Structure 1
């Protein structure tokens, strides 16, 4: 009864389809043809319009050169400086007027130009008196460039006039006998046929396109109906029947013999119908496995987080120092880790490390490395001795060839004196009391677990009351934004020095805020781990 009801519902849904594949194909043909015709029409319009503008503009320059060849340039300079007429002024004005009439130009005028975007008329074919001024309504930059440097504009300076319609301006400098630009000669040409010509062109292109559209659409529709839409309808009907009864395979698809991709599609659907039940079972199995792995990764993430000191203040009874640290993995679990622990009442161990690789392998290696470092450090010895022991232990059975960069320091919290070893890790940053954070750059030892039997360098350092220390993994300076730019140590130091007197919690938060603002929406590719310590112990002796 339920299967029958489902079949009826499917038939009703099929009847509700009002805009099938055939109509969509026809509509796509029409839209594509219209789009192509529109693009070609617009392209032709702009090319044709540009050609007409160039033609009229070039004609204006021909007229302008004729005028420049017949007028006295020095006289123009005289009129432009004295603003008084003489006997020759009227003759020149009449000549310009005659050229305007003979050439059918709209306006011809000679002006001087001023920086307040005004011009002053020397000659004007429409009868504007000598010395009258007008504002420059458009293209002032081109006009000023030509007036000051004699540069010919690289556009046609087209504008609209209420009297003439569209005009194009040709502009040349008037240069006196000493080589000075004394004025500009303008010839405005009326582009009298541009609108009517362009309208005719567009109308012809539209009619031609509509004719092609009609013929092409009809022919293509019949072709698609016979060789494409019909077979697709049979495929759709077969799929609908299989959806109603996924245990029966129809033979309808075997009748499709188009010898093309549609026949391949029919064959593929037949194979799909045979495999679909198995496929669904596989999907269920994979989904269950992914959920199990996801749950285990969540547990692993929690275990890893629990292994790192996360309760702050870490040593509320100790007043000699304040410490804070954070770790943000790039994946569910990561390979970075930090640690700090009291070896005895007076000695504090500080660790910052970065395991090669990401994900579960790096996290497992991280657990082993962290445990070895802390356990060996609590047995006593200097950082170099501790790292040598850890290196030999990690090299045993390290077939994955993982390694870990480590910065390890042991600090006497009473005197401020300490020993540090750097096995391929980032340079720490230190701030002396009242100063700025700076990188402490020195020669490193190789990474831990890179080679069995290695010895590591260690060096002495000393912190004074008020000094602060900042250590981190390469996820901080190598954080990358969407433009593939690195955050870098300079930006890191700027973030630290934005408020160098801040407590270590605020200090790390400032760095993270600047880093997040820099990275933006770009994905995090590496673990980001930071540790800050502020020293308030007794003053020790100077570093040797």
Structure 2
């Protein structure tokens, strides 16, 4: 250091004589070079050196500024790349010089390639080859070397290589060259490819099998769903006869099938209900058609009636018709039970009464013969209560027989209400050969007679109280001056008001007779057609 500081090259060389001799005789030995802080060559192991080969002014300035070692690649005097390290030297007075030690890159690269069992290539930024352990392979890996990926796989024909890319810098930290390490992995690659292909094939077969199993399962799962969808489509078309399968399965399909089956039965029941409703509507229309369509236009008396069924059809009926001798048959009846069966029996009973009255009009005899007809082959054990009367407008005489029915109420001209005396007869259709008794009264001009069924007196309100006879008497007493239509409507209004929101459970039938006397003149306000009066409801 003293020789360097004193700028005595001979003394410096003498001190490094052994090192100098060794560096000059060993080609693999690194180049050793020393310059003064101003960049002048002070010492070099290179022969005949007159200027620095490594320590350029930029390098000396960089190490002087940094005051720390520099490492990197450098270009040697023979034009080949070398690996160099540059560091400052210090004496007591400060930095006395800069030393550079450089070695050809070939030797360390060969050592590196052998240690990692790779081929090594060094190329500049233009991919010009600077060094290679196997130069012939560079053309095969050059295409992959153009990339920027640190690791890649390159193929050259049937050969496959791995390529590791490592950029290198010079002493001034500038990009210099790129180091590539490559290994031939052709055998391993194709072995992996074949093994991977077999594995992939196995996976593909397994996947195909799994997909086939899944397809079979989905088909099996969707088959009942498709069947259920078919049932729903059939139901949408109105076909309720289709059957639903799988209702016994204990899973979502079974529960869905059970729901659809319940819906199908509900639709089927709904369809049957609609058909029954249509039949009932038709039966109601037929029932209304067999009742009298108009009240008689007579001078001595007037009639009005109303029938309100509890269901679509009922078992009550009223009837009136002229007899051959000028008298009138007046009938009100109530069939046991309600609904369609009662309506059918009502039609039979009305037909039997009319047919018998045309031959035997007298009340007792008519009820006796009609009872025999209705009692014969009465497997349904149905019966009908009947109040049958024959009215003579010329005299006001009313003869009657009662077959278990409510006796009519008589509202006389003075406003007093009483009921006709009973004849103690039983309902028709119960027992054949049953005798019936007849009675008669003579109506006075101004008397009103109200025929009714038990649907009037047995109407129930919300507290389950019956309308009863006393409320009927009160309604009649309040209608002492009313005509027959008003009388009927007054009673109906009173019953409806009494029942309130309580449902009607029995037919309500009323028929009123107003006797004005044989010498009275026709009053058009009291005798109107039934369709105009609106009495039939």
Whichever structure has more strand as a proportion of its residues is: 2
TM-score of the pair, normalised by structure 1: 0.49
